[in-house]
């Protein structure tokens, strides 16, 4: 495994350590849309680990280094949606969100038709502004050109469920909608229903914005964000992320305890018809199109800056990569397979 570790350490992403300066320099979007609204801090060096058959077989760097993990948080929102479905707070993913969320965000013919599934698959086409950010900021976003391509054009909206677009404002609308059905802070639910049952540490944090306080039953609660490119989101270390990956690998069960319904794991990994590489806020390696060197049955949580939690059910592997260069991930996964099979 030494070669694997050396490769990971040698292929750290070229991002600066100062994440605030990186965002303020306009990596994600130019001023004024790049205004930071939530906590953000400098990142540490590359680190990560690989498990196979529930045992750590390789690690590098400081795997207890708590860093922001950007859009990996979206997959955590998916876990919370699974809890809401299990608790019957959401009866069906195909019901309109407006049936249960009456905070003004789903009024009118367009937004009122949006379903939970569409929010989770990023096909909702939700229109509006939330916490000081307009959905237009992320319209026409191309993840393969993140930090390089133009976005933010006010293109005409399509009907909900007919167009796939990765849009952080709409993800934050999902987070707020889940807060409305749980009526409790999402980090509190996440800790109680996911992190404590899997034996995670208490060092992780999940933040929102200075603008995202909402009133729930007379109590002011911060609505969290599903990413970090305006600050906020999840700060966590690699070992806790590996536990979340193992929960998915074990199909929602942990040490004999059912944490998430197995049916929810299945639902999360059904390819979206409009983007077969996406499930319910989990990325899929359908037809091995994203990572040709890895099994097509693999899936992963992915965040900007080279933050990936890879799950390979076929080979019982979970790999957590923190701050790995995007173009190196496929080679790394090939090396992992070679090492465990060799």
The predicted-structure confidence for 80-101, as pLDDT tens digits, reads as follows 999 999 999 999 999 999 999 9
Which alpha helices (H) appear in the chain, and where do they start and end? 2-10, 19-24, 72-86, 108-112, 116-121, 168-182, 186-190, 238-249, 262-268, 329-341
Whole-number CA gyration radius for the chain: 19
Q: Which of 140, 155, 241 is nearest to 198 (CA)?
A: 241
Answer for the pair 40, 228: CB distance below 8 angstroms, yes or no. Answer: yes
Query: What's the rounded Cα separation, in Å, for the pair 135 and 169?
Result: 5
Q: What is the mean pLDDT of residues 193-214?
A: 98
The domain 2-341 having CATH identifier 3.40.710.10: the answer here is yes
- Taking 90 as the threshold, does the pLDDT of residue 24 lie above it? yes
Average model confidence (pLDDT) across the chain: 96
Pairing relation of β-strands 205-216 and 299-303? unpaired
Reduce the DSSP state of residue 151 to 3 states and report it.
coil
Give the C-alpha distances (Å, rounded to integers) separating 43 from 15, 68, 75, 237, 243.
9, 7, 21, 11, 21
Where residue 122 falls among pLDDT bands split at 50, 70, 90?
A: very high
- Taking 80 as the threshold, does the pLDDT of residue 212 lie above it? yes
- Taking 90 as the threshold, does the pLDDT of residue 149 lie above it? no
Where residue 144 falls among pLDDT bands split at 50, 70, 90?
A: low
**Residue with token string 């390819």:** 271
The whole-model pTM stands at 0.96
- Taking 90 as the threshold, does the pLDDT of residue 342 lie above it? no
Answer for the pair 284, 299: CB distance below 8 angstroms, yes or no. Answer: yes
- Taking 70 as the threshold, does the pLDDT of residue 231 lie above it? yes
- Taking 70 as the threshold, does the pLDDT of residue 185 lie above it? yes
pLDDT score of 127: 97
Long-range CB contacts (within 8 A, 24+) of 338-342 = 339/1, 339/3, 339/4, 339/57, 339/58, 340/52, 340/57, 340/315, 341/315
**pLDDT digits over 235-246, tens only?**
999 999 999 999
Count the residues in the chain. 342
Burial of 210 (0-12, 13-18, 19+ CB in 10 A): middle
- Taking 70 as the threshold, does the pLDDT of residue 145 lie above it? no
List 300's β-bridge partners, or say none: 283, 310
- Taking 70 as the threshold, does the pLDDT of residue 167 lie above it? yes
- Taking 70 as the threshold, does the pLDDT of residue 307 lie above it? yes
């Amino acid at each position: 495994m030494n070669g694997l570790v050396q490769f990971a350490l040698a292929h750290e992403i070229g991002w600066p350590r100062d994440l605030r300066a990186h965002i303020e320099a306009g990596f994600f979007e130019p001023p004024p849309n790049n205004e930071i609204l939530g906590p953000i801090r400098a990142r540490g060096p590359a680190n990560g680990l690989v498990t196979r058959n529930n045992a750590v077989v390789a690690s590098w760097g400081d795997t207890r280094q708590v860093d922001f993990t950007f859009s990996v948080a979206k997959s955590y929102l998916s876990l919370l949606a699974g809890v809401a479905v299990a608790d019957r707070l959401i009866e069906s993913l195909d019901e309109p969100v407006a049936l249960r969320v009456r905070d003004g965000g789903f009024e009118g013919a367009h937004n009122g038709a949006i379903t939970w599934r569409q929010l989770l698959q990023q096909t909702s086409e939700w229109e509006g502004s939330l916490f000081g950010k307009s959905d237009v900021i992320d319209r026409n976003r191309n993840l393969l050109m993140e930090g390089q391509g133009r976005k933010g054009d006010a293109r005409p909206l399509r009907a909900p469920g007919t167009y796939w677009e990765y849009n952080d404002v709409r993800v934050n609308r999902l987070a707020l909608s889940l807060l409305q059905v749980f009526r409790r802070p999402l980090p509190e639910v996440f800790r109680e229903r996911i992190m404590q049952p899997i034996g995670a540490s208490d060092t992780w944090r999940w933040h929102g914005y200075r603008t995202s306080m909402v009133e729930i039953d007379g109590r002011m609660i911060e609505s969290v964000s599903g990413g970090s490119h305006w600050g906020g989101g999840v700060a966590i270390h690699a070992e806790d992320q590996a536990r979340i990956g193992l929960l998915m690998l074990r199909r929602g069960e942990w040490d004999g305890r059912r944490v998430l319904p197995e049916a929810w794991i299945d639902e999360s990994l059904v390819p979206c018809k409009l983007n077969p590489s996406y499930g319910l806020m989990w990325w899929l390696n359908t037809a091995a199109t994203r990572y040709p060197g890895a099994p097509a049955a693999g899936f992963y949580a992915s965040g900007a800056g080279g933050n990936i939690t890879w799950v390979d059910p076929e080979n019982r592997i979970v790999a957590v990569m923190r701050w790995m260069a995007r173009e190196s991930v496929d080679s790394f996964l090939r090396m992992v397979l070679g090492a465990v099979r060799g």
